[in-house]
Amino acid sequence: MSFRYRSVGIALGLSVAILALAACNGGNPQFAGPHLQMTPSFRAAGPMPSLTKSVRAQRSWMLPSAKSIKKLLYVAGAATSTVYVYDYKTRALVGKLTGFLQPNGECVDAKGDIWITDWQATTTTEYAHGGTAPIATLYTQSEQTACSVDPTTGDLAVGTFTAATIYIFKKARGVPKTYTSSACPSLWGPGYDNKGNLFVEAGINGSGNAIVCWLRHRGKLLNALPFNQKINYGADVMWDGKYITFADQSFGGSELQSGVYQAELNGSGELTLAGRTRLADRCGHSDVLQPFIVGRENTPVNTRQGTVAIGSNNSCLTNVDFWAYPAGGNPTDVLTAPDKVTFGSVVSIKS
C-alpha cells in the first residue's frame, strides 16, 4: 500500500514566541499531507513546544451566566493550549478552559457535556455545559484525533491517528475496548450514526484516496466499507441529524477547498452518496478538518438535519466559519478566535 506524502510547513503563534514547524520527507508518509494545519503535521514536524509557566499558570474561568446559556460554542486552540467558550447566539466570549497540552477534537453527549481530546496528553476530558472543573478524564496510549458518543448506549469512541486504534469506553467510563484493522492504517475523528454504527476515515489507499472503515453496532471487527464517493483527503465523520457525513480536506480534488459528503448505509452494507456541501471562505482557501453540524438537539440524539455547519479554517488562521447547511458556499459569519491554530469546534445545547 502506498501513501501520498508532501512536505508541509506550519507556523504556530504562541504568546511568547512563534515556532516554525516543517514536516520533512524523512517522516512516515502516512502521517503527512497537503494541508497546513492538519494534526498529523505536528507529529511529522515533532512535538509541540513545552508550555511556558505563564500559560500553565492560567486558570479556567467561566461567566456565572454561562451555565444558563442555551447554546455554547467550544473552540479548541492548539497554539495557546486553551479551549475558548462562546455564547453561540451572540458570539461573545464567556469562558476559557485551560490545563491542556494540545486540545484537538471535541464531541458532546446527549445532555450537553463536552468531551475534549488532547493530542499530546493522550487524554479525553469531560466538562459539564458551562462548567470549568473536569468531570472525568479517560486515557489512551496514542495521540487522539476526535471522539463521538453512541446515541444508543452512551459509549464514547475515541480515534487515535498513529496507533490506528479505536478506543470505546462503555458508558464513557473505565477501561476501553480497542479495535484495529490492517485495512484501516490511520484514523481520523470517528462518528456514530443514529443506530450506533461507528464510521471513520482511515488512511489513504493505493489510488491516493481516503479509506472509509466502520464498526457495526455491537460488532467486533473494524472493517473497510465501500463508498461510491471518492474522498481525496481524510478528515472527520459526524451525524448531521439525517445522514452520516464525511469531511474531505480536498473536496472535489482541490487542495484549496474543503467540504462534506452526506451518505446513507444501504441494505447491501455499502455507503451511498446522498449530498455534497462545499465549505468555502472569502479569504480564498478553506482547510476544515473537523466540521461540526449544529442541530436542534445535541449530536448523539439529534433527529433533524442541522442547519448550520461550523469549522476552524486553518488556511485562514484564526477563522472559525459558520456556513448555512447543507447549502454551504461562503460563510454566513466568521468568528475570529484568539489562537493561530484552532481545531475542534462543537456546540453544546443545554438540556
- What is the C-alpha separation between 208 and 204, in angstroms, rounded? 6
In-domain check, residue 103:
yes
Q: Please give the pLDDT value at position 12.
A: 30
- What is the C-alpha separation between 166 and 297, in angstroms, rounded? 26
Q: Please give the pLDDT value at position 61.
A: 98
Domain around 314: 64-349
In-domain check, residue 327:
yes
Q: Please give the pLDDT value at position 284.
A: 83
- State how many domains the chain has: 1
Q: Which residues of 87-102 are buried (b: 16+ CB within 10 A; e: fewer)?
A: bbeeeebbbbbbbbbb
In-domain check, residue 221:
yes
Q: Please give the pLDDT value at position 317.
A: 77
In-domain check, residue 59:
no
In-domain check, residue 190:
yes
Q: Please give the pLDDT value at position 57.
A: 52
Q: Please give the pLDDT value at position 226.
A: 93
| 8 Å CB contact between 38 and 45 | no
Kindly give the confidence (pLDDT) of every residue in the chain, 351 residues in length, as a single tens digit, with 9 standing for 90 and above: 222 222 222 223 222 222 222 223 233 323 333 333 333 332 222 333 334 334 445 799 999 999 999 999 999 999 999 999 999 999 999 999 999 999 999 999 999 999 999 999 999 999 999 999 999 999 998 899 999 999 999 999 999 998 999 999 999 999 999 999 999 999 999 999 999 999 999 988 888 888 999 999 999 999 999 999 999 999 999 999 999 999 999 998 887 899 999 999 998 889 999 999 999 998 888 999 999 999 999 999 999 999 999 999 988 878 999 999 999 999 999 999 888 888 999 999 998
Whole-structure pTM over 0.75, yes or no? yes
Q: Please give the pLDDT value at position 255.
A: 79
| 8 Å CB contact between 252 and 275 | no
In-domain check, residue 323:
yes
CATH of the domain at 241: 2.130.10.10
Write down the residue that cell numbers 446527549 correspond to.
Answer: 110
Q: Please give the pLDDT value at position 210.
A: 87
- Angstrom CA distances, 186 to 182, 234, 238, 315, stand at 9, 10, 18, 23
In terms of DSSP bridges, do strands 165-169 and 156-160 run parallel, antiparallel, or are they unpaired?
Answer: antiparallel
Residues in the chain: 351
Take residue 53 and report the three cell numbers written for it: 509557566
In-domain check, residue 160:
yes
- What is the C-alpha separation between 341 and 330, in angstroms, rounded? 21
